[in-house]
Chain A
Amino acid sequence: MLFRRKKKEIQAEKKDLPDGLWLKCKNCGEILYKTQLEKNLWVCPKCGYHMRITSRDYMSILLDDGKFEEEIAPGLRSGDPLEFPNYKEKLETYRKKTGLDDAALAGVGYLDGKKIVLFLTDFNFMGGSMGSAVGEKFYRAAQKAIELRVPLVALTASGGGARMHEGIISLMQMVKTSLACAELDEARIPYINVLTDPTMAGVMASFASLGDVIIAEPGALLGFTGPRVIKQTIGEELPPGFQRSEFLLEHGMVDGVVHRKELKATLSKILDVLRVPENGEG
């Protein structure tokens, strides 16, 4: 029953935890020793549940030194094009809370010795939603990959998709990021998506679906419309496992479902074969 969690059972995610020694898996309820869990990359050793982690956690999992050699567009932030009620304050709150400027990070780094551009969205910053800053950051990350002629790996976690506080401007970031993908394509730069829990709506319906290879972490919620809205619309129970990674695999929408422990090795193998053509354009 991996996919039918009752609301009441959903509790402590990593981010909410005090600095205690123990925590409970929100999927199977197992009490886990924190250092053990950390070693297991925040995957429950008992049930295999992949907990949500931060963009910096993923950097340390994927990059050789756990950090960028060069960060792309640091300090890039969204403006407030609509003067949306309380948006500025909200951005400030999330900046303080996460230490991030907006919901995305990007930089140049090494994965198993292979130079790549890594782009990541962070669920902890307004649900990983995409506004002007995320769209622009992705575009610049893609440009950097084209300029350096190295692959782009984009790891996404975004519950809200396009950020509604920037209204139509957020929607247009779907176009801007898709434009970046078209340019990657034309320059024959390998582009790999890693979809983590959750990747939905405007992010899923743009750059997160346009990779040459699309990999998903186990059990991630992935789709266009959120399950609650679908359930409301059709007025029926949703099939078990609906919109989870394994469901997308079954329907031919992703190339593979890969355990977090295998993620770096899998990407390394893919990047070893899908290399930038030496006599490509660019």
Chain B
Amino acid sequence: MRFLDFERPIYEIEKKIEELKKLTREHPEFAEEIKTLEEQSNRIKVRIYSQLTEWQKVQLARHPDRPHAVDFINGMIDDFVELHGDRHYGDDPAIVGGIGKLEGLRLVVIGQEKGRSTNEKIRRNFGMPHPEGYRKARRLMELAEKFSLPVFTIVDTPGAYPGVGAEERGQSMAIAENLKVMLQLKTPLLTLIIGEGGSGGALGIAVADRVLAMQYSIYSVISPEGCASIIWRDGKLAPKAAEALRLTPEHLQRLGIVDEIIEEPLGGAHRDPETAIKSAKERVLYHLKELVVKDPEEVLRERRERYRRIGYIEEVALSS
């Protein structure tokens, strides 16, 4: 298991526990000590995780061992059939899409996948989609509407890919078109942010009736590094930018962007992915069940109203 700097005390005590456990067969007297250490480990976890800075939460959202979109799909969806390609140019492995069932509820699933092994990461382009990924997502959303299926999208991306091919094939157009389609789709849309919600790249599949966020996920207009280097001309001020951007779920909920936060196991989803995915499954199912019984026209009307309202404006008397 890989660990972040601030996780080191947990990692060290866990290593010690593991070593002692190996010896307990010959030395049963260690059992007592293991118990003490486990209690101590729990106390440390509670202490560390109750005092996380915004920057540490950003690092957690990007933790390499966090469960990814495919893990959520495998843990939540039965009879998943992956559907490939945008029917125009290619298939983008950074976006996984398909159909399946969530506890018997038929749906379309679209998720951004970062990949885990080095090869897989390269193949999936670290979860940074190209225009063909957004166009595949769009095709699947339209498929969902045609067959009256809800759409469940899973967000986890540093952003849309900044590359020559992506620009040549219309990255902006692909995202803009998706935004419009999601505002016209007469079927429920639910988004779950599981790790990184990187700006327009995330938004391209994340206009929804309900937006849920895992406890240690982030969602932001720009990365803290990018923000710091533009505003303060120093990427090292990323921790300061992470505070300023209000990109963690509590802030996002207060700002009306996230509807519900899904609590993660102590120490984060990467310490117990199964439990984390199970909690997510329960809440996703709950919200989807609520949405699918509604009139799709009404669902769309409410979705539009939701986005119509977002904004903080002042209107002053004529100034010019």
Contact = CB atoms under 8 A, between A and B. Distances in A.
B34 interface: no
Nearest to B310: A172
A61 interface: no
B171 to A, nearest CB: 4
Given A136-B311, A179-B183, A205-B172, A230 B164 contact: yes
Interface string A194-205: 000000011011
A82 B179 CA distance: 24
Interface stretch (A9-17, A114-122, A221-229, A258-266): A221-229
A234 B255 contact: no
A279 interface: no
Counting chain B residues whose Cβ lies within 8 A of the other chain, the interface size class is 35 or more
Contacts of A77: 313-316
Interface in A80-116: 80-82, 84-85, 95, 99-101
A135 B307 CA distance: 11
Interface in B181-235: 183-184, 199-200, 203-204, 207, 219-222, 226-227, 230-231
B172 A224 contact: yes
A210 B177 contact: yes
A18 B319 CA distance: 26
A75 B319 CA distance: 6
> Chain B binding site: helix, strand, loop or mixed by DSSP?
mixed
Interface stretch (B6-14, B99-107, B243-251): B243-251
B173 A253 contact: yes
B27 interface: no
B170 interface: yes
B199 A171 contact: yes
B252 A168 contact: yes
A274 interface: no
B320 A164 contact: no
Contacts of A45: none
Given A74-B319, A139-B308, A164 B221 contact: yes
Interface in B226-283: 226-227, 230-231, 244-247, 252, 255, 257
Interface in A101-154: 101, 132-133, 135-136, 139
Contact of A79 (B175, B180, B226, B314): B314
A179 B162 contact: no
A239 to B, nearest CB: 7
22 contacts: A75-B316, A76-B314, A77-B316, A78-B312, A79-B313, A85-B244, A136-B313, A139-B308, A161-B200, A164-B221, A168-B247, A176-B307, A182-B183, A201-B200, A202-B221, A205-B176, A209-B176, A210-B177, A223-B171, A223-B172, A224-B172, A224-B175
Interface of B: 160, 162-164, 166-173, 175-177, 179-180, 183-184, 199-200, 203-204, 207, 219-222, 226-227, 230-231, 244-247, 252, 255, 257, 304, 307-308, 310-320
Closest 5 CB pairs of A and B: A79-B312, A225-B162, A132-B311, A178-B179, A209-B176
Interface of A: 73-82, 84-85, 95, 99-101, 132-133, 135-136, 139, 161-164, 166-176, 178-179, 181-182, 185, 201-202, 204-210, 223-225, 229-230, 233-234, 238-239, 242-243, 247, 251-253
